[in-house]
Structure formats: C-alpha cells, structure tokens
Amino acid sequence: MPSPAAPAPMKVIYDTDPGIDDAMALLFLEYAPSVDLVGITTVLGNASIDTTTRNALYLKELFEIEAPVARGAAKPLVLPLTEEPHYVHGHNGLGDVPIPDTITAAEHELPAHRFIIEMVRKHPGEITLVAVGRMTNLALALREDPGIAALVKQVVIMGGAFGYSGHSGNVTPVAEANIIGDPHAADEMFAAQWPIVVVGLDVTQECVMTTAYMQELREKAGKAGQFFWDISRFYEDFYRKATGIDGIFVHDSSAVAYLLDPSLFETRTGPIKVVTEGIAIGQTIQKPTTRSFPPTPWDGLPDHTICTAVDTERFLDLYFRTIVEGAAARA
C-alpha cells in the first residue's frame, strides 16, 4: 500500500561565503530530507569572491552536490573592499586544509543575483533564500527586479544582533560581520516587502559545538564528520583565543535550523533598519510591532521576524542526526 505522500521538499537557494560554518550549514541543507537545494550562490566575506566560489565548487565536488554554483558579488554595494578575516577562517576560507588547485565542477553561467531572479521567476512562491553571508547578492537582485520580493516564499538570514542574552556584535560592540560587511545591502533587503527571518548573534552565540561534539561527529558521520573536524581546528583555536569558549559557535547552521524547525526558536516581529555610517555602522535595530513611538524612520517598513532565544539542545541534536543520517545514506 502506498504510504501517504510526504510534503514536497522546500526549494532553497543557499547564498554563502564558505567559510567553515558555511560548509557545515551547506551539508545540513543538502542532507535534510525536507529541503531541495536548487542553487548555491557565492558572495565575498569570509574570503574573497574567488576563494569563496572556489570553495563552494570544491564542496559541491567533494560531497557530490547537484545544485549549481553561481558566482556573486566581489565587493560591497557602497563600502570599499577591506581585507578578509584570515584569522577566523584561515587564508583559504576553510581552515587552511589542503584544497586542490583545480576543481572539475564548473560555475553556472549566470551571476548570482541573476540566477536568483531567474529561479524565483521560474518557481513563483516556492523559493526560500537562505543567506548566510553579506546581503549584497540579495540587494543586487532586488535592484534589478524588485518584483521578485512578492514571489519569494521566505528569506532566512544569518546576520545581525539585537542584544538578547547580551549578544550585540562580533566585529564592533554593536555590529555583526555579515551586516557590517555590507550595511547598505542589508538595509535595502530589510526595506523590501518579503518575509525575512533574522537569525542573529542573539541565538547563534548561545549555541556551541564543543570539541567533544565535533569528535563524535567525526566518529559517526563518515567523510562529512572527518571534514568538519579538519576544517574546524583553526576556527576552534580562534574562538578559544577570542572568547574563551571550548568549541565553535554555530552561526550559519542556525539559519538552516530555523528553516527545518522554527519551533526551536522564540521570536519577535517588527521592521528593521541598519545603521550605514558612524560608530554604530552595521548595527541592526528593530522597532517591535508591540511598541508605539512618535514618527520614526521605521514607519511604513515591512515587519520581519528576529530570533530571540533558541533551544540549543534540540538544535544540536537535529544537526547531529541530519548529518549522521545523511552521511550514512550516501556511504
């Protein structure tokens, strides 16, 4: 007897700057049965666009991922290029594990923002964008075709910080890396009429994958577990020195976790603006829908959702199960 049909998997485009936690979140998406990964778009951030694109192609090849890789923005919309954070992700963006010089997988012919437009137009109402780098590609797509906002199912981003649990910034006291990397792009993205869920430091810095957790993943998740172990040695060392934690924050995978199981998170809604100049550049500020004020710059902007708390135990368990089962299914 045929079993009842499972709901169709969610079509996802993953916008990313791999990046160690980006690589870990990519396999979380690829291995989640409820996700149909239809594209990977790259952006500068953790490393240059050449490096993040090369890394995305390398991950596609290494883990036999079908989704095409489209190269995205090489620089922020307005700000000048600055040096990449080699001290976080290593010089090659993947913790300085050896990566072959030549990658067989080829790039998609379209640039990232046009790839996004084409896919959204082709699948109206069906595409979810999961953006875990700077928001430059999303802003470029909106500038070229503002009509896509109404056709995207949902946007889930890793970025920003709103001060919950004491988390307000990791590049400055008030700014998170993905947002301060291109604050103008983020502000344009938040002004668009599409539903955004913001998974910021408020929750990502509540969640730590300890050395013991990574060890168990290495033992039980085959090639993926070993790869995550290898690339995260450098990252773990950075966090130990910078924050004193014994393990790594799970930034980008937190956005994927929201997509897979929103019940892991507590949320608040309201319009969001980004500070684009001055000492608070990169700060994300939400006006809660429940509060009224005299006229403010937030008036008339669309409501978005921010995550304010996370059930870390259930999240870490979901990640572990998804990676172990996904790796076993492909072994």
With vertex at residue 296, the alpha carbon angle to CA 291 and CA 302, rounded to the nearest 5 degrees, is 70
Work out how close the CB of 157 gets to Ca ion at its nearest, in angstroms, rounded to a whole number.
10
Tell me if 32 contacts Ca ion by CB under 5 A: no
User: Which of residues 22, 30, 182, 236 is near Ca ion by CB under 5 A?
Assistant: 22
Work out how close the CB of 277 gets to Ca ion at its nearest, in angstroms, rounded to a whole number.
24
Q: Between 204 and 322, whose beta carbon lies closer to Ca ion?
A: 204
- The residues carrying an active-site annotation are 251
Only one of the segments 34-42, 124-132, 203-211, 287-295 lies at the binding site for Ca ion (rule: CB under 5 A); that segment is 124-132
Exposure string of 271-304, with b = 16+ CB inside 10 Å and e = fewer, is: bbbbbbeeebbbbbbbbeeeeeeeeeebeebeeb
CB 101 within 8 A of CB 73: no
Q: Between 77 and 135, whose beta carbon lies closer to Ca ion?
A: 135
Q: Between 139 and 301, whose beta carbon lies closer to Ca ion?
A: 139
Only one of the segments 18-26, 57-65, 94-102, 165-173 lies at the binding site for Ca ion (rule: CB under 5 A); that segment is 18-26
CA atoms of 104 and 129, how far apart (whole Å): 26
- Tell me how many residues contact Ca ion (CB under 5 A): 6
How is residue 200 annotated by DSSP?
Answer: -
Tell me if 132 contacts Ca ion by CB under 5 A: yes
Tell me if 19 contacts Ca ion by CB under 5 A: yes
Only one of the segments 21-29, 88-96, 148-156, 191-199 lies at the binding site for Ca ion (rule: CB under 5 A); that segment is 21-29
Site for Ca ion in 245-304 (CB under 5 A): 252
Tell me if 133 contacts Ca ion by CB under 5 A: yes
CA atoms of 169 and 159, how far apart (whole Å): 10
Work out how close the CB of 3 gets to Ca ion at its nearest, in angstroms, rounded to a whole number.
37
CA atoms of 101 and 13, how far apart (whole Å): 26
Tell me if 176 contacts Ca ion by CB under 5 A: no
Q: Which of 232, 181, 175 is nearest to 200 (CA)?
A: 175
How would DSSP label each residue in 201-262? Answer: HHHHTT-EEEHHHHHHHHHHSHHHHHHHHHHHHHHHHHHHHHH--SEEE-HHHHHHHHHH-G
Q: Between 57 and 132, whose beta carbon lies closer to Ca ion?
A: 132
Tell me if 39 contacts Ca ion by CB under 5 A: no
CA atoms of 246 and 209, how far apart (whole Å): 8
The contact set with Ca ion (CB under 5 A) reads 17, 19, 22, 132-133, 252
